[in-house]
Structure 1
Amino acid sequence: MEYLTVLTIPDPRLKMKGERVETIDAGILDLLEAMVKTMYHDEGCGLSATQVGIAKRLVVIDMGDESTPEPLKMINPEIIWRSPQTERYQEACLSVPGVSAEVERHVEVKVRYTDIHNKTQEVHGKGYFAECLQHELDHLDGILYIDHLSPMKRQLLINKVIKSKRLSGTR
């Protein structure tokens, strides 16, 4: 499978919500592999299916450290616990290219998901891994990290992305 095209703001498809995956078949497994390949190609640490225009609850993550010794492929992930403590993290996103901003996230989260073998799994994320989990799962509900910012800051970043695209001739 070829690389997938990552949608960028202001594409309205980034606001769609992912639908639950009912059957894990060859198509879903191929899509997860293509998402991993695309994530590496675009130098990201996570990617959701909604970012590539597919309304499915699928996420791939590879932190490049011991928290994910191999790419984490999650089907129907959901946060089942959040620490009361929060912290501000500098976030960026393949769908919001060339800009970043601080976003407040929970310091720890637990996520339950189905793996590629149709087994229920849980992962406990701390720090940057927890931030990445929350960021990617937000995408499944049509939420971008910039949606956590004030309207003025969000619009400033959107304008920067649009101007950069216009200057570079990309869409």
Structure 2
Amino acid sequence: MIDRDAIAAAIPMPILVAPQAILRQKARPVRPEDAAGVRDALPRMFAAMYQAPGIGLAAPQVGMGLRFAIVDLGEEGERQPLILINPDVIAESDSLASREEGCLSLPNQYAEVIRPDRVRVRYRTLDGTEEELEADGLLATCIQHEIDHLEGILFVDHLSTLKRNMIMRRLAKEQRQKR
């Protein structure tokens, strides 16, 4: 479990914005020798995600090419942090759901994305225990979105070329205006 006091005291990690190259790279699996680095990064990742605010964040989004992500659909005061190390979708429903998605690495950009409505995910916990989780609705969408990041896939890759290009041009323009 993650220490809430450590999150509160942590300096948030900077979240990378597309088109940073690491966002398009496949993350390598977390190995036992990576455990200390993952453990150290987690409070800063949660702090960054909560500050943004967001409901999920994958390691590549903070410049770490490792296969882990965090998710929390809970509101302030009712946090439900979930740490997914080396996650893989092992089953998905035939039924699909359309949900508006956004991404902390594509700030202020949103689009409807169609994904399986339910998934079963196998992952490791921080202590190395293998677990499985069945998720549906928003949790299923969020988990699939974060696992996509670990594969170098952004939510815009699920859109038509026209929509994807429109969003990426709009993002680039907003980023230029911020400078």
Deviation at 1:69, TM superposition (A): 5.4
Stretches of 4+ aligned residues off by more than 4 angstroms: none
Matched-pair contact (CA < 8 Å) for 1:63–1:129: yes
* 2:61 pairs with one of 36, 39, 51: 51
Matched-pair contact (CA < 8 Å) for 2:12–2:46: no
Matched-pair contact (CA < 8 Å) for 1:32–1:58: no
How well do the aligned residues superpose, as a CA RMSD in angstroms?
Answer: 1.4
C-alpha distance in 2 between matches for 1:134 and 1:52: 18
Q: Can you list the C-alpha shifts for 1:122-141, whole angstroms capped at 9, x where unaligned?
A: 11111111000100000000
Determine whether 1:102 maps to 2:112. yes
Structure 2 length as normaliser, TM-score?
0.89
2:174 matched to which residue of 1?
164
C-alpha distance in 1 between matches for 2:142 and 2:29: 20
Deviation at 1:32, TM superposition (A): 2.0
Question: Higher helix fraction: Structure 1 or Structure 2?
Answer: 2
Secondary structure at 2:97 match in 1: strand
Secondary structure at 2:147 match in 1: helix
Q: Residue type matched to 1:3 in 2? A: P
Determine whether 1:121 maps to 2:117. no
Q: Residue type matched to 2:92 in 1? A: R
Secondary structure at 1:27 match in 2: helix
- Structure 2 unaligned segments of length 5 or more: list them: 1-9
Structure 1 length as normaliser, TM-score?
0.93
- Structure 1 unaligned segments of length 5 or more: list them: none
* 1:17 pairs with one of 6, 26, 41: 26
Of all paired residues, the percent bearing the same amino acid is 38
1:92 matched to which residue of 2?
102
C-alpha distance in 1 between matches for 2:106 and 2:122: 27
1:5 matched to which residue of 2?
14
* 1:36 pairs with one of 25, 39, 46: 46
Aligned length: 167
Q: Can you list the C-alpha shifts for 1:2-24, whole angstroms capped at 9, x where unaligned?
A: 32111111222210111011115
Deviation at 1:35, TM superposition (A): 1.3
Matched-pair contact (CA < 8 Å) for 2:56–2:71: yes
